[in-house]
Amino acid sequence: MGLALAVGCARIGLTLERRLRTAPPAPPAEVPVERMELAPGELATWTGTAAANGGLRLGLIAFPAFLSIWFSDERILTIGSVCLVLAALGSVRVSVGAHGVRVRPELVRWPAVRIPLAHIARAEAIDLHPMRWGGWGYRGSLRLVRRAAWVVRGGPGLRIELTDGAVFAVTVDNAVAVLNGLLAAEAPTAA
């Protein structure tokens, strides 16, 4: 039974991976607008998600089936639970609004990173490379090392510099325009 499940999961994973590799290339991304212009008193919100590629997430779900060939049920339950948690954490939801920036896993509400608008000095769109931030997942600590990132894939991301000099980055597309618009609206105007 375990062997049949493992073979089936392997075939699904290979098929998905092959489709991802042979998919037509995406059109070149437009340069994101760096700041949305907001009228005085106008509010804006933005929510987006980013996810690890489908093959990786499917692999995390199928991995316990492969291990069932060699290990006992107790080990499979433990490893399977860890893999399912990792698969659930493989996508993030980012919300930008008057509250600031909130980042959490897409499927569950914890753990979460919350950065109030008043604590953000500036924001910019970046090309996020996982290995420059320590790999995939939540890396670093805003409190201890004053540098952290939530990375689920390489590519477009948001880099936030806090007023205390700490830096936070997250894998997500197109959030910078709304965030910078809110920051500009909050900034005191020179008279």
Of 132, 94, 130, 87, nearest to 115 (Cα)? 94
Mean pLDDT of the chain: 76
- Residue 65 scores a pLDDT above 70: no
Peptide bond into 111 cis (omega under 30): yes
In this structure, which amino acid lies at residue 99? H
Q: What is the pLDDT of residue 121?
A: 95
Distance CA 134, CA 23 (A): 29
Name which residue leads in pLDDT, 60 or 152: 152
Q: Side by side, which strands form the sheet with 167-171? A: 120-128, 155-162, 167-171, 147-151, 137-141
Three-state SS at 170: strand
pLDDT digits (tens, 9 = 90+) for 84-96: 666 666 788 999 9
Q: Given pLDDT bands bounded at 50, 70 and 90, which one contains residue 188?
A: low
Of 131, 128, 129, 184, nearest to 158 (Cα)? 128
Distance CA 4, CA 136 (A): 31
Three-state SS at 90: coil
pLDDT digits (tens, 9 = 90+) for 8-60: 555 555 554 454 444 444 444 444 457 778 777 777 888 888 877 665 556 65
Joined together, the tokens standing for residue 44 give: 């804006």
Joined together, the tokens standing for residue 180 give: 């910078």
- Residue 171 scores a pLDDT above 50: yes
Q: What is the pLDDT of residue 69?
A: 64
Q: What is the pLDDT of residue 59?
A: 61
Q: Please say whether the beta carbons of 154 and 128 come within 8 A.
A: yes
Joined together, the tokens standing for residue 144 give: 């201890």
Report CA dihedral (58, 59, 60, 61) to the nearest 10 degrees. 50
Task: Write down the residue that tokens 């008043």 correspond to.
Answer: 118
- Residue 4 scores a pLDDT above 60: no
Distance CA 149, CA 169 (A): 5
- Residue 75 scores a pLDDT above 50: yes
User: What proportions of the chain, in percent to the nearest 5, are helix, strand and coil?
Assistant: 35, 30, 35
